[in-house]
Amino acid sequence: MQIFLNDRIVPEHEALISVFDHGFLYGDGIYETMRAYDGTVFMLDRHIERLNRSASLIQLTVPSPDIIRDAVYETIRANGLKSVYVRVTVSRGKGPLGLDPALCPKSTFVVITKEFVEYPEKYFKEGVIFIIAKTRRNLREALNPKIKSLNFLNNILAKIEAKERGAYEALMLNAEGFIAEGTVCNIFFVRNNILCTPSVDTGVLDGITRGLVIGLAMETGMQVREGHFRPEDLFSASEVFFTNTTSEVMPVCQVEDAKYAVGEVAKRLRRLYKETVAKAVRSEG
């Protein structure tokens, strides 16, 4: 595997970062994950915009958009990939022990790509199981959800709960008990023919796929409600699904004891999402 580290492509065994890097020591950094179809990174500019937003919120210097874009495609080509999982990471960089960001004169920039392995078709036909985690989502006032941070322990604790209970994913509530998001995804459900999803002010990341799916639903004439929902609202839904960059639109068949059929809304939105991807790839080609 070839890795882009700071300013060049290096073999994996040479892609080494100091133990004094503040990303390692303190989780001080940001990241984005993307997906490339037939060698074209879908919504790359949007991901770069969000990376820059995260950087500005923690006063972190990142490479210019052109440099990031070129590094992503150079890494894809260096690994000879077409269907690709891409991760861009920027940490505070190497510096002495201590929390002061000024201790690190230069950030660390990394691009990793690997072949994307499709999810089992069974997941899309039958749905996946969620539990509701006891671990609550970080307070917005404690850690702004607009920052896609390397400090992921909150989500990891919820993921551990899901694994211990044999579930695919964990749904996290915020401190007030409202539905927030999964550990790596945004949640949607259909109730009374309205597509519902937690509002960003519940403390969720405004996922890029989330935004696209909301737009696609509205284009079909479906009513969309972004709001504050309790688990009881979800339990009475007719269908549930989640979104993220890699899974796209994936149905949920169970949350705790509530069970759901794989519904027509999720199927339709997944199809429309795929059509949007195909159109974007053709235009880039």
Report which secondary-structure segment, H or E, holds 250: strand 248-255
Position 276 pLDDT exceeds 80:
yes
> Residues 130, 95: one domain?
no
pLDDT of residue 172: 98
CA dist., res. 52 & res. 54, Å (int): 5
How does pLDDT run across 184-213, given as a tens digit for each residue?
999 999 999 999 999 999 999 999 999 999
Of 285 and 244, the structure prediction assigns the larger pLDDT to 244
- Domain edge (last residue) among 115, 142, 162: 115
Residue spans of alpha helices (H) in the chain: 22-26, 44-57, 65-78, 121-126, 153-164, 208-219, 231-235, 264-284
| Per-residue pLDDT, 285 | 61
Q: State the residue range of the domain holding 66.
A: 2-115
Q: Is 199 helix (H, G, I), strand (E, B) or coil?
A: coil
**Residues 71 and 127 grouped into a single domain:** no
CATH of the domain at 76: 3.30.470.10
Q: What pLDDT was estimated at residue 282?
A: 85
| Chosen domain end from 88, 115, 142 | 115
Last residue of a domain, one of 65, 82, 115: 115
Residues 196 and 237 in one domain: yes
Question: Residue 152 maps to which CATH number?
Answer: 3.20.10.10
Same domain membership, residue 146 and residue 125: yes
Dist CA 141 CA 25 (whole Å) = 23
Total domains in the fold of the chain: 2
Do 210 and 250 reside in the same domain of the chain?
yes
Same domain? 95 vs 172: no
- Which amino acid is located at 7 in the chain? D
Looking at the fold, whether 128 and 242 belong to one and the same domain comes out as: yes
- In tens, the pLDDT along 139-166 reads 989 999 999 999 999 999 999 999 999 9
Considering the domain architecture, whether residues 125 and 253 belong to the same structural domain is answered as yes
Span 12-66, pLDDT tens digits = 999 999 999 999 999 999 999 999 999 999 999 999 999 999 999 999 999 999 9
Give the mean pLDDT of 280-284: 84
pLDDT, mean of residues 247-258: 97
Under the banding of pLDDT at 50, 70 and 90, the label for residue 281 is confident
* pTM to 2 decimal places: 0.93
pLDDT digits (tens, 9 = 90+) for 67-86: 999 999 999 999 999 999 99
pLDDT for the residue numbered 239: 97
